[in-house]
Amino acid sequence: MAGSAEERAAAADRVEAAVAARLAPTPEFLARLGRARERLLTAVREAASLRESPLVRAVIAGSAARETFLSDRLDVDLFLLFPPDLSDERLREEGLALAGAVLENPIRRYAEHPYLRGTFDGFAVDAVPGFAVTDPARPRSPVDRTPFHQEYLARRETPALVAEVRLGKQFLRGLGVYGSEARTEGFSGYLLELLVVRFGSFRGLLRAARDWSIPVRLEAAGREPPRLPAEVALVLADPVDPNRNVASALSRRNLAALVLAARAYLEAPDGSWFELRPPAPMPRSEARARLADRGSHVTVVALPRPPLVDDTLYPQLRKAERAIAEELGRSGFQVLASASAADAASLVVLVELAFAHRAAVRLRPGPPAGLDRAGDFLVHWPADHADVLQGPYLRADGSLAVETRQHGREAETFLKERLPALSLGRDLTAGGEGRVHDLAGAEETPALAEALTGLLGKRLPWPPTPR
């Protein structure tokens, strides 16, 4: 948008005030939620007393406790904390039994360990067992730091900052980068709240982010958490455990989306940035039309879905995607891109190739003539070898080479042979169950449609340009 910095800031004020008002829960709703929180804690204490449970304390944490939730994503997070010397087996047994005593319609779910999801006073509740540790830098389970996170943010978040956090969450949702689960690899709610507190407001975060260069290190030199992976996107030490990077789940792609969007929004503030724009699954017919226009080819690998939760499944699925694409690339196929997706029953890996076939001739480079292993190369590839089409011969640089016949030229034929030998992930086995097809022969499933969108429907998650 045109205009001075003051005009853009005034426009952003109007946009954000309108969105904040829309996102804000009513006083009546907050009062009902507050009463439900109190009754839930009371019910837990009474149930623990009846069971003579070793419960140390129950804590409600997260967005439902700090009121930073978005109304359509409200879950009450109840943490049932037990003595640190309790065994893992007893923790699960006592935690699930206690949660089951207070929740309606409880269903067992799994993350790092089992928890129960149910309802209480009409609110969805996740009841998660953990340990009542005294040092958050020495947790026994991943959830043990959460009460300390709650205490840290509750002391710092004013009502004004709570409204800014909601703005940030909705903005990130519009970009499709909100959520730290393995499927999304985005911003966790805790990370966003720390960033808003650090930079003073939603817009303060955007002003900082528009100039970031990835990887971003918000910690002073020498204060970063140890053992950072090479592909780290953002480094922000957990204030309750300096050895932990709060942003470890965030991908570089999703951080880059925030960096670009921050600049674009600040230049042209508009309410459409806060609207959800989920990508539409791409039907196979549309994908085939796009491939015809691109002149490329897609190979489809379908696998049965193992009984894993998403946070365990998706890292393995991405490993399978890399393994399949790299095997095709190493073997002479020209790989353009890859994508993967999962639905309730199946997994799909797609690889887009420049051509459906690899070359009929394969160049096999050998060692320089003066090395001892030159003799081994000549023994292995004699001129009368059934697959040798030309050579052995010397190249301009003095090294040996031979050109051989390429078998399995069709991508699907080649991959069917190689798939059982690939390392796809601990719980993903191709064996006889993996199915390899071209796109025309693949079964049309929700996973296929989602993966096709990721492969052939790539775009920046920007709102439509105003007419």
Q: Which CATH architecture has domain 27-152?
A: 2-Layer Sandwich (3.30)
| Eight-state DSSP code of residue 301 | E
User: CA angle at residue 256 from 179 to 240, to 5 degrees?
Assistant: 50
**What pTM was estimated for this model as a whole?**
0.89
315-340, pLDDT tens digit by residue? 999 999 999 999 999 998 999 999 99
**Predicted pLDDT of residue 430:** 56
* Cα separation values, 50 from 40, 47, 102, 127, 330, Å: 15, 5, 12, 18, 64
Task: Give yes or no for a contact between 196 and 205, defined as CB atoms under 8 angstroms apart.
Answer: yes
| Eight-state DSSP code of residue 306 | P
Q: Smallest Cα–Cα separation from 75: which of 86, 85, 63?
A: 63
Task: Give yes or no for a contact between 57 and 113, defined as CB atoms under 8 angstroms apart.
Answer: no
46-100, pLDDT tens digit by residue? 999 999 999 999 999 999 999 999 999 999 999 999 999 999 999 999 999 999 9
pLDDT (mean) for 99-104 = 96
Element (H, E) at 197: helix 189-199
d(CA 317, CA 447): 12
180-222, pLDDT tens digit by residue? 999 999 999 999 999 999 999 999 999 999 999 999 999 766 6
| Per-chain mean pLDDT for the chain | 92
415-436, pLDDT tens digit by residue? 999 998 898 888 887 555 668 9
- Inform me whether the pLDDT recorded for 149 exceeds 90: yes
241-254, pLDDT tens digit by residue? 988 999 999 999 99
d(CA 246, CA 361): 50
**Predicted pLDDT of residue 433:** 60
pLDDT band, very low/low/confident/very high, at 223 (cuts 50, 70, 90): low
Residue located via tokens 């353009």: 336
In total, the chain counts a number of residues equal to: 467
pLDDT band, very low/low/confident/very high, at 167 (cuts 50, 70, 90): very high
Task: Give yes or no for a contact between 146 and 130, defined as CB atoms under 8 angstroms apart.
Answer: yes
Contacts of 181 (CB under 8 A, 6+ apart): 249, 310, 311, 314
- Inform me whether the pLDDT recorded for 156 exceeds 80: yes
Q: Do domains 156-274 and 284-357+409-456 have the same CATH topology?
A: no
Domain 284-357+409-456 has CATH 2.40.290.10: no
**Predicted pLDDT of residue 461:** 87
| Eight-state DSSP code of residue 91 | H
Task: Give yes or no for a contact between 183 and 310, defined as CB atoms under 8 angstroms apart.
Answer: yes
User: Would you list the domain boundaries of the chain?
Assistant: 27-152, 156-274, 284-357+409-456, 361-405
Contacts of 169 (CB under 8 A, 6+ apart): 68, 70, 178, 189, 192
- Inform me whether the pLDDT recorded for 467 exceeds 60: no
What does CATH list as the number for 156-274? 1.10.1410.30
Of 149-153, 228-232, 235-239, 422-426, the one with minimum mean pLDDT is 228-232
336-393, pLDDT tens digit by residue? 999 999 999 999 999 999 999 999 999 999 999 877 788 899 999 999 999 999 999 9
Contacts of 253 (CB under 8 A, 6+ apart): 185
- Inform me whether the pLDDT recorded for 30 exceeds 90: yes
pLDDT (mean) for 143-149 = 95
**Predicted pLDDT of residue 462:** 86
Please, is 416 exposed, middle or buried when counting C-beta atoms within 10 Å of its C-beta (0-12, 13-18, 19+)? middle
**Predicted pLDDT of residue 426:** 85
